[in-house]
Structure 1
Amino acid sequence: MVVRLLHRTGLRSNHFHLASLGTIALCVGLWVRAKTVDQQQRGNAERRALFVGLWPPMMWSIGESLRDVE
């Protein structure tokens, strides 16, 4: 139901597959940035990078579901 709604709004599987790759790059960028902050803020920055690291499989799965609808 949600996947069909996404398809009707014009989103396609390629959009979500590219978003998945983009979130991998964002995660790596946040992780590298976490190494440059001071020790007090490093834990928060690393947790942020780990949180963003959970997004790529979700985006890829949504893209695969949309590909089935297409």
Structure 2
Amino acid sequence: MLKKLHDSGLRAEHCYMAGMASVGLAFTSWLLSKRFERAGIERADRWGIFIGEWAPTFFAIGNGLQMYERK
């Protein structure tokens, strides 16, 4: 799988940037949901957690690609 991702042009740096963007997006979505939705803090927390769960996946794929690129 890593070979296919690498061959398609995806690099470790791209995944790391996506992970950092996910962290920022999680915070932003939590803040905006908390401020503008009437559903309350529970819904804001769910949005933040949902998007925040993407970051570890991007970082893990980035680590795998980085190890692949060192070969």
Shorter-chain TM-score bucket reads 0.7 to 0.9
CA distance in 1, matches of 2:41, 2:63: 35
CA distance in 2, matches of 1:27, 1:63: 19
Alpha-carbon RMSD across the aligned residues, in angstroms, is: 1.5
RCO higher in 1 or 2 (8 Å CA, sep ≥ 6)? 1
CA contact (8 A) 2:18 2:58 kept: yes
Number of the residue aligned with 2:14: 15
CA distance in 1, matches of 2:43, 2:35: 13
SS in structure 2 of the partner of residue 50 of structure 1: helix
TM-score for the superposition, normalised by structure 2: 0.85
Number of the residue aligned with 2:56: 57
Give the ranges of 4+ consecutive aligned residues of structure 1 lying more than 3 Å apart after TM superposition. 41-45
1:36 aligns with 2:23: no
CA distance in 1, matches of 2:34, 2:47: 13
TM-score for the superposition, normalised by structure 1: 0.86
CA distance in 2, matches of 1:56, 1:38: 24
Identity value in percent: 29
Q: Runs of 5+ in structure 2 lacking a partner?
A: none
Q: Runs of 5+ in structure 1 lacking a partner?
A: none
